[in-house]
Structure 1
């Protein structure tokens, strides 16, 4: 990325040099070129690892290119399927001198954690069987590997990290062989595996298809692109399809291995990829591993001890975080689309489409969501579309300086959950369109100019002593329990079963003004001048098209003349009660909500309620998400 940017800067600055007339400069630039730009190593399925990696003589594997690449180099991967685990042994030297892994422009490069399997024999009816030598799997056999860990609920049966795929889509693991063999069965798409002495046997139903005539694959590798070592900084991964990984359960108290992730490193850019079919997590920005992994669910200290150990082991912005995850399509992960405990600090997650996360309900536990972050310190979550997940965004412990803006969430089990955070964090200009929108068990949250099309739920008091941090830091400033209140609600539109009267009698007072309550939604008595339309149905509806998604809704211009609203600023919001901090953006600038969902300027004298500054009376159609 930096190569192209630098070339563009030279042209923009008018640095046009007639090289033939300036031999000294030519020589100087030639000498500096390798240091400034690095080399490009080409990889092709038609290549050979004995080659030098030129366009004419490319390498065969991405891993071999990774072993050769140094800071400033680019690994250019050409069209094809690469069945390998990429374990980068080193990273870049700085943000400007990265190691870049990218698919060649206009070419589809796929990295898979699965292998093709042929040689299926029919057992009876629609049941097929294949026997594979255990040596095929090397040191890791997903059909022996049980999913387990802190806060995982096995629900009375075994779950393995292996999977069976028919033409790119996965089958369901049966709890017992009899389920697969039974005539008729519960499903036409089931598999069951058994590992004995020197072989692994898999029985499967393929919905009437002949597996020897179709593409059948099985998980073989735990991850696809993930360094074994920590501290592999400044890597870019761009433009790939990454799929089919036997990832483990990723609780906040253990190493969180995703289909792709930096493993406790700094400054990764993961962009423009398709990340899908991970048994547990897709992208991990999470915790390193140590001898206490998966030992904390029932311990007295639990996650607090994990945080304290991480601080001793270098949990600082100088060592981890500062990642960029943008414009990816993330789907078909049974735990989380993006997961991160501690390691996501100071990161940006933007423009991603995240869908079908834990939607098949194979696994159960306390760590499942489209985005699940513990300690989202100064993290920006902006412009993402999250749908068909068990829970859209879950900010658990130490959401401080977190900025959640301009996201579209629909058809989720719940759109957002903020759990035992003390703030400050900001939730602004979002479209929460599921039946259950936001669940609040936190203080120090500012909810500004959002559209809540379903219920907002406020949970009861939580006695856990959870940390709050120093300003824009990972240093612990103190611990506190979780009373109700100390939240700010300004200029939102609520429609449906929300009832904010719970804030009438809570321990900590909240600030509320400029909100609109429709179709049964009820304001708190603490709000002096709410606009209430108990019988006004805005008819909120999300419409899908070839271009993307549009929001249809009925609005009323009377909401503007009914009262004069204030432009939301840090001064208006004040400081949080528990952490004692002002509301600031992740970059330290005071909050000032002077733009809407589209980035258009708001009327500073009387901003409109909800995410859109410009709307008309009656029916509106808002273009809310364009396909990438």
Structure 2
């Protein structure tokens, strides 16, 4: 027998949890719900960290948490703070007993951990004025004389970029903590904080189990925000504002998630498999500890039967300091689709090598498709063990970088995407297939011969071997490349000098008569054919069939009209006769290191015949992400 429990702001935790006599807190319902039950939460703001106690038992016997239909339900990691005292001018303060925070005081906890590169004393706390997040000052003097920043350093590209929210930079806070009290100072400018709605971060998460193995949970229809989440590198515990905490089979859908200090949705690892040991112990490189975490995870039950297979869909995720979606190891076999992710890592209060709209390590068989990702420090970063991963039909724009694939051996697929950042693609990997994309922007290609990373038996967490990134073994077919004034390395010319078949590669590498050193000298094969190069982009020297209109400017624009997004692009006359064939498992060469084919997660043949708009391609059709592009001007709705 299954039950339906209700939670409402007029309820009581001593009630029965029925619609007529609801519980007061979501946690009370979580303590009694078991597999097959549904928890319906009614309108209101719930200031609690929901910690599911019981697990579902299968896809069909889940525990579902959902907002009542048509009602706005908000779960906050913050508390409202009143009784501010004016200090001087527009600066106010409030003194709070340390007991208020319990065991977790975000105004003591700093941004800390492996791969944190820049942090001038910033903490996990935050102050919000009518929902607007402040910036943390580095000292009290700075708070009293706020600087209006118009530009900051973008650590990714090492260039100066404009601040998107200049007005926000004037709103600063600073905290002092002694043995008894936490004193928060804030510059509210023309606002009186006792007359406005002011909140501060208090809790580490909004919806995150304390125990691992809480499987088959659905979370649907909530707004969740303002959590004091910690930094989440791949070598540490990875709590997010919401997440399954090393479990299987969660569905996180139709939510609005924002203002997480670090990460919004976490589908990552837990602490026993590594907890910032590079930073704490300082005796080994983070790379070594990350290798160890893979084997520790195997001992902790890392397998398809126990971990991963999550679904993250139809969420809106924004205004987070580190990641929209993060996950190492725990993300395996998951699907991330139809999410709108923006404003991730753009405040630049702190910086590290683990920031992105989506940042995954070991994304084995993960399917990332139909997402809209923009205005992020980095759109999507796939790092280590990108195997069986597919990035398909996503829209990227106004990111500092769009896509980064690092130290992985494939096979992975990138098809039918639009990438438009000035820095569109970082390819520090091998074994990829880039098919039917529109790529406007710089493309960086690098080898990584000093870091061997694991690869796996197909569709498994079992490690099959280790390999460095030799570069190459990539496929670029049916793409449209667009250069622009001031942009370099757009196109495929950076593969000049590479071999073009496995047979040629084998023959060349065996001429020297040596062993592993010879493989470092010879460039792996690349399979590059039937791409279009516009506006200064450059082709691979040995590409047979190509369309080169290097002086043709397509005047590419991504246009936002309310919640809808349009592609505006002009194409040359011969684009309609330069037709490309549908690519599939049978046409894409196997990857060399892993010795595996490009297939679906279930092992079946993959056929790349669905374009960005969901239309089916003919056997031969116009190249690029949209099958009905035509010569001349195109103005097409691509989102909304």
Which residue number corresponds to residue 162 of structure 2? none
Does 2:402 match 1:429? no
Q: Give the Å deviation of 1:107.
A: 0.1
Aligned to 1:22: none
Question: Structure 2 CA distance, aligned partners of 1:505 and 1:291?
Answer: 42
2:211 is equivalent to residue 229 of structure 1 = yes
Residue 294 (structure 2) aligned to one of 279, 304, 307: 307
SS in 2 for 1:330: strand
Could you list the per-position Cα deviations for residues 155-193 of structure 1 after superposition, in whole angstroms to 9, with x for gaps in the alignment?
4x2111010000011100001111113487875300000
Q: In the alignment, which of 315, 319, 325 is matched to residue 328 of structure 1? A: 315
Structure 2 match to 1:457: 444
Task: Spell out, residue by residue over 1:436-494, the C-alpha distance to the aligned partner (whole angstroms, 9 max, x if none).
Answer: 11110111100000000222221244321111110111111111111111000010000
Q: Is the 8 A contact 1:403 1:586 kept in 2?
A: no
Task: Give CA-to-partner distance per residue, 1:365-397, whole Å, 9 cap, x none.
Answer: 110000000000000000000011010000000
Given the alignment of the two structures, is residue 242 of structure 1 paired with residue 224 of structure 2, yes or no?
yes
Q: Does 1:510 align with 2:526?
A: yes
Residue 278 of structure 2 aligns with which residue?
296
1:590 and 2:605 are equivalent in the alignment = yes
Residue aligning to 2:465: 478
Judge conservation of contact 1:402–1:585 (CA < 8 Å) in 2: no
Structure 2 unaligned residues grouped into runs of 5+: 150-168, 499-522
2:576 aligns with one of 560, 584, 588: 560
Q: Which residue of 2 aligns with 1:610?
A: 624
C-alpha change, 1:184 and 1:418, in structure 2 (3 Å) is closer
Deviates more, 1:409-418 or 1:490-499: 490-499
Q: Residue 566 of structure 1: CA displacement?
A: 2.6
Alignment of 1:177 onto 2:140: yes
For residues 246 and 392 of structure 2, the distance between their equivalents in structure 1, rounded to whole angstroms, comes to 26
Instruction: Provide Cα deviations, 1:516-558, integer angstroms capped at 9, x if missing partner.
Output: 0000000001211210001111111111112410101112341
In the aligned structure 1, how far is the partner of 2:542 from the partner of 2:131?
54
Preserved CA contact (<8 Å) 2:378 2:400: yes
Q: Which moved more, 1:178-187 or 1:91-100?
A: 178-187
Instruction: Give unmatched runs, 5+ long, in structure 1.
Output: 1-33
Which residue in the other structure is 2:429 paired with? 442
1:74 aligns with 2:47: no
Greater Cα shift, 342-351 or 578-587: 578-587
Q: Which residue of 2 aligns with 1:65?
A: 29
- What TM-score comes out, normalization by structure 2 length? 0.90
Give, in whole Å, the separation in 2 of the partners of 1:539 and 1:242.
39
- Identify the residue that residue 243 of structure 2 maps to in structure 1: 261
What secondary structure sits across from 2:141 in the alignment?
Answer: helix
**What TM-score results when the alignment is normalised by the length of structure 1?**
0.92
* 1:567 CA displacement: 2.1
Deviation at 1:601, TM superposition (A): 1.7
Q: Give the secondary structure class of the aligned counterpart of 2:388.
A: coil
1:583 Cα shift?
Answer: 0.5
SS at match of 1:290: helix
- Aligned match of 1:117: 81
Partner Cα distance (1:188, 1:491) in 2: 47
Query: Would you say the 8 A contact 1:377–1:472 is kept in 2?
Result: yes
Cα deviation per residue 1:319-360 (whole Å; 9 max; x = unaligned)? 110000000001111111100000000000000000000011
Distance 1:116 1:547 in 2: 31
Query: Could you tell me how far apart the structure 2 residues matched to 1:252 and 1:39 are?
Result: 38
Secondary structure at the counterpart of residue 394 of structure 1: strand
Shift of the 123–451 alpha-carbon distance from structure 1 to 2, 3 Å rule, reads same
Q: What SS does the corresponding residue of 1:243 show, helix, strand or coil?
A: strand
Q: Secondary structure at the match of 1:516?
A: strand
- Conserved 8 A contact 1:372-1:395: yes
**Greater mean deviation of Cα atoms: 440-449 or 548-557:** 548-557
Name the CA distance, whole Å, in 2 between partners of 1:547 and 1:199.
45
User: For each residue in 1:118-176, what CA deviation from the matched residue of structure 2 results, as whole angstroms up to 9, or x when unmatched?
Assistant: 01011111100110111111111111111201111244x21110100000111000011
Deviates most, 307-316 or 494-503? 494-503
User: For residue 541 of structure 1, what is the aligned residue in structure 2?
Assistant: 557
Native 8 Å contact 2:387 2:408 kept in 1: yes
Aligned match for 2:122, one of 156, 159, 176:
159
State the shift of 1:291 in Å.
7.3
1:213 aligned onto 2:195: yes
Any idea what SS the aligned residue of 2:580 has?
Answer: coil
On the 8 A contact 1:503/1:509 being kept in 2, the answer is no
Is 2:108 aligned against 1:144?
yes
Segment drifting more, 228-237 vs 141-150: 141-150
Report the equivalent of 2:305: 318
What do residues 297-331 of structure 1 show as CA deviations (whole Å, max 9, x unaligned)?
A: 65252311111111121110111100000000011
Secondary structure of residue in 2 paired with 1:264: coil
Distance in 1 (CA, whole Å) between partners of 2:449 and 2:573 is: 41
Provide the residue aligned with 2:254 in structure 1.
272
Task: Tell me how far 1:248 sits from its aligned partner.
Answer: 0.5
- Of the three residues 376, 380, 384, the one matched with 2:371 is 384
CA contact (8 A) 2:273 2:296 kept: no
Matched residue SS, 2:39? strand
CA contact (8 A) 1:296 1:303 kept: no
SS at the partner of 1:310?
Answer: helix
What is the 5 A alignment of 1:42-53?
Answer: 42-53=6-17
**Between Structure 1 and Structure 2, how many residues are aligned?**
587
Distance in 1, Cα, partners of 2:301 & 2:186: 47
Distance 2:599 2:616 in 1: 19
Counterpart CA distance in 1 for 2:469 and 2:139 is 43
State how far apart, in whole Å, the 2-side matches of 1:415 and 1:353 are: 14
Asked whether the 8 Å contact 2:456–2:465 carries over to 1, the reply is: yes
Note the C-alpha offset of 1:617: 2.0
Match of 2:131 in 1: 168
Deviates more, 1:490-499 or 1:69-78: 490-499
- Change in CA separation of 1:174 and 1:353 when aligned onto 2, cut-off 3 Å: same
Shift of 1:206: 1.2
Aligned to 1:17: none
- The 5-angstrom pairing of residues 388-403 of structure 1 reads 388-403=375-390
